[in-house]
Structure 1
Amino acid sequence: MLALVVLVIVPFVWFGMIFAISFIETPLKFKAPGMTHALGVGIGRLVFKVLNLVEALLAVAMVGAWTQRQDLVTLPIGIILALPLIALALQALVLRPAMSARTKALSDTALTHSGGTAVKAKVATITHITYIASELLKAIALPLAGVLLLLAVAA
C-alpha cells in the first residue's frame, strides 16, 4: 500500500517543487528591490543544487515504489516516468555543473568590475536554454504520469 501511495504522490510533489522554484521563485527574485544580478545568480546556484538533491531523493523513492508496483506501470506510463529521471540526470550531471562554473565566474567578475559585465551575464547560453527545456519536460511529464497512475489505480 505504501508503494502505491508513494508512486502516485511523488510525481505531484516533485511537479509542485519544480513549478514553485523554477517558474515562480526564480524569475521573481530578479525583480526584488535591491537584488543584483550577481546575488540572484548566486542564490540560484544554491537553490538549484539543493532542488536537484531533493529531486534525486524523490526519484529514488519513485523508482523504488515503481519496482514494488510494476503492475500499475504500463509501457506508456514507464516512458513518461522515465522522462523526468533522464532530465534530472542531465541537469545534475551535465547542465548545472556547466552553468554553475559559468555563473560563478560571472559573479566573481561582476563583483570586481562594472559596466557591460552585468549585461553580458544576463545573456542565456544554450546550456541555460537546455536546462529550462528540461524543467519544462519534467513539468509536463510528472503530472501526466501522476494522472495516468491515478487512472490505473482506479481501473
Structure 2
Amino acid sequence: MTTARAFLTAAVFLWLGMVLAISFIEAPLKFRAPNVTLAIGLGIGRLVFRALNGVESLLAVLVLAAVWADPPGAVATVALALAVGALVVQLVFVRPRLTRRSDAVLAGEVGPRSRAHYGYVALEVLKALALLATGVLVLTAAVP
C-alpha cells in the first residue's frame, strides 16, 4: 500500500468516525439531556456542526489530494465523489436554510419544523455509507 493510499484510508475512516459520532450520537442525545432547552440545543448544535463541517472540508481536500496522487480505482472514486458531493450540498444548500431556521427559533419565532433538517440527515446517511464504501474498497484493493 502506498503512502497516499494509506493516508486516504486513514482519512476516510477518520471522517466516517466523526460523522457517526457527531451526527448520529451527539446530535440526537443532546436534546435528551436534563435541562437542555431547544435554544440551548440549537446553540450547541450550530457550534458543533460548524466545527464538524470545517474539519470535514479539510479532510475532503486532503482525501482528494491523496486520490489525485494515487487513484484508488473507479468504484472507490465514485463512492468518494458521492461523499464529497453530499458535503458540498449540505454546506451550500442545506446549512444556510437550517441556519435561517435556527436564527428564527433563537429569536423567539414559532413555526413548523424545517424540512431541510430531513434533507441534512438523508445526506449524512448517504455520506456515511459512501465513506464506508470508499474505505472498504480501498482496503480490499490493497489486500493481495
Matches within 5 A, 1:32-111: 32-70=33-71, 73-109=72-108
Moved over 2 A (4+): none
1:154 to 2:115 alignment: no
CA distance in 2, matches of 1:14, 1:39: 26
Q: Residues of 2 paired with 1:30 and 1:43: CA distance?
A: 10
Query: Deviation at 1:11?
Result: 1.2
The gaps in structure 2 that reach 5 residues or longer are none
Q: How many residue pairs align between the two structures?
A: 143
In 2, Cα distance between equivalents of 1:13 and 1:90: 21
Counterpart Cα distance in 2 of 1:79 and 1:67: 13
C-alpha RMSD of matched pairs (Å): 1.3
Does structure 1 conserve the Cα–Cα contact (< 8 Å) formed by 2:30 and 2:36? yes
The amino acid that maps onto 1:52 is N
The one-letter amino acid paired with 2:63 is M
1:134 aligns with: 123
Give the letter for the 1:132 counterpart: V
Shift of 1:102: 1.1
Inter-partner Cα distance in structure 2 for 1:56 and 1:21: 15
TM-score (norm 2): 0.94
Cα drift, residue 101 of structure 1: 1.3
Identity of aligned residues (%): 43
Deviation at 1:2, TM superposition (A): 2.9
* Structure 1: runs of 5 or more not aligned: 111-116
TM-score by length of 1: 0.87
SS at match of 1:109: coil
User: Based on CA coordinates, which of the two structures has the bigger radius of gyration?
Assistant: 1
